[in-house]
Structure formats: C-alpha cells, structure tokens
Amino acid sequence: MHPPLALTSSPPHTWGGTVYGVMLNHPPALEALGEAAHQAPYQAPPKAPVLYIKPRNTHAGPGAVTIPPDVSQIEVGASLGLVIGQVARGVKAAEALNYLAGYVTVADLRIPHTTYYRPSVKLIARDGFCRMSDTWTPRAAVANPDELTVKVWLDDALVHQTTTGQRVRGAAQLLADVSEFMTLDPGDVLLLGVSHGAPCVQPGQSSRIEIDGLPPLTNHYLTTLELP
C-alpha cells in the first residue's frame, strides 16, 4: 500500500493527477430528467456512476477565467473534490475514506447543456474549466464529507445553497463503486458531483464557492477581448 499523499504547499492543479467528475449524483438532477430518463438515448436511469474526465488543460486555480468568444455564459458547478492519498482499487465503502488525503473546493465549469448522454468534450473540457482552491484540507479535519453546506456567491450575492448530503452515492460509496472497476492513484481527484440548479455567469461577473471547513474558491470571468 502506498503511503498517504504528502502534504505540500503546491496547489492541487500542479499535482498532475486526473480529475474525475460524476453526473446525476444529486437526486433532483435525475428527477429533472423525468420520463426522458426512460427514453432514448438513456433507456433507463443509470445503475452505475456516470463518469467523465476533466483533462489537464482544464486544471487551474483561483483567479481569471476566460469565457470562450463563442459562449455567452458558463455554468459554475460547485463540487467537493475527494483527493486520493493511496492507491484505491476495489476498496470497500466502510474503508473508502481512509484512502483519501483530504478534500478540495472545486468549480466544475461547463457550457450549459441538458443532455447527459455522452456529453460533448467541447462542453466540459475547455481550457481552465476545472478550478481548484490553492490549498486542500486534510481528511482528519472534516468529520463527515456528506454533511457539508455548499454555497455559491455571484458578485457577492448568495445564489445557490445546497449540501454534500442526500446523494445517490455519498463520498465513501462513490469511491468504492468507482474503484471497483478502475484504479485511482494518489493525487487524483474524484468529484462528489454538482448539485442541481447550478448558476451561470457571464463576462464581468465573479463567483465564490464556500464549502464548510474548506478554503473558498474565488474566480472572475473575462472574455478574450478583456485579456491583457
């Protein structure tokens, strides 16, 4: 078994790990599909985690986010990131949290879309579309990752508030289910998932994500025309 990931002052976006997102892990998001979840192309609600990858070009920290010129707004998906500290392969839910180094605040940015079936890379993997706070929080500092309040502020106004609880899969179960069919390595980040109703931002706005006990994440949004 590998030793836990060493604490470092380096921001998580320099670790070099893979960031895995999960869709439809918040029941209201699945409920919003309604009968469409039983029709083509879905055919039935998902029975396993619906995963996607935020590749390295998306990894960044606080600060300026460039909104692509062909996009009028982007969705700011607040998510708790589970930072893997030991090689996780076939772990049991009862032991899963022991494989974490800690937690990180993440802004899972994406171009708004309504389909969850084979989502286009163009919608979720633009440059800088996975923002992570500069520091992460050790596992021992969070008593229960499934009982944290998550707030999203736009221009200093609270626009979205939810919790990390009441998920299809809580943090431990999600890690167990994902590690059943793939290996997660130290430095990888597994997102708990964006809550339904995530707000959208336009150029000129700013966002701040606050998760109980974790450093907040602040970003402001520019167009390519505003870059120096």
- Whether 138 is in a domain gets the answer yes
What confidence tier does 97 reach under pLDDT thresholds 50, 70, 90? very high
Least confident of 3-7, 24-28, 134-138, 224-228: 3-7
End-to-end CA distance of the chain: 47
Q: How many whole angstroms separate alpha carbon 133 and alpha carbon 91? A: 27
pLDDT category of residue 3 using cuts at 50, 70 and 90: very low
What is the C-alpha separation between 43 and 105, in angstroms, rounded?
34
Report whether pLDDT(145) > 60.
yes
Q: Is residue 28 part of a domain?
A: yes
Give pLDDT, residue 150: 98
Please list the residues that pair with 189 across neighbouring strands.
Answer: 19, 83
Domain-located, residue 17? yes
- Whether 2 is in a domain gets the answer no
Q: Is the model's pLDDT at 40 over the cut of 80?
A: no
**pLDDT exceeds cutoff 50 at 41:** no
Which residue has better confidence, 219 or 34? Answer: 219
Average pLDDT over residues 1-14: 59
**pLDDT (average), residues 105-133:** 85
At residue 133 the predicted structure's pLDDT band, cuts being 50, 70 and 90, is very high
Upstream peptide bond of 203 is cis (omega within 30 degrees of 0): no
User: DSSP alpha helices (H): ranges in 23-149?
Assistant: 27-33, 121-124
**pLDDT confidence of 115, banded at 50, 70, 90?**
low
Q: Is the pLDDT of residue 54 over 90?
A: yes
What is the rounded CA–CA span in Å between residue 145 and residue 19?
A: 18
Domain count, the chain: 1
Q: Classify residue 1: in a domain, yes or no.
A: no
Tokens of 174: 């999600």
User: In a 10 Å sphere around its CB, with 0-12 CB exposed, 13-18 middle and 19+ buried, how is residue 117 labelled?
Assistant: exposed
Quote the mean pLDDT of the chain: 86
- Expressed as residue numbers, the domain containing 50 is 12-226
Residue pair 131/61 in contact (Cβ under 8 Å)? The answer is yes
Band (114; pLDDT cuts 50, 70, 90): low
In a domain, 194, yes or no: yes
**Residue 139 Rama label (left phi>0; alpha psi -120 to 50; beta):** alpha
Tell me, yes or no, whether 129 lies in a domain: yes
Q: Average pLDDT for residues 41-50, to the nearest whole number?
A: 59
Please list the helix, strand and coil fractions of the chain in percent, rounded to the nearest 5, in that order: 20, 35, 45
Per-position b or e across 159-187, b if 16+ CB within 10 A of its CB: bbebbbeebbbbbbbbbbbbbeeeebebb
Residue 4 falls within a domain, yes or no?
no
**CATH code for the domain of 80:** 3.90.850.10
Per-residue pLDDT tens over the stretch 180-204: 999 999 999 999 999 999 999 999 9
Q: What is the mean pLDDT of residues 117-131?
A: 84
CB atoms within 10 A of CB 41: 9
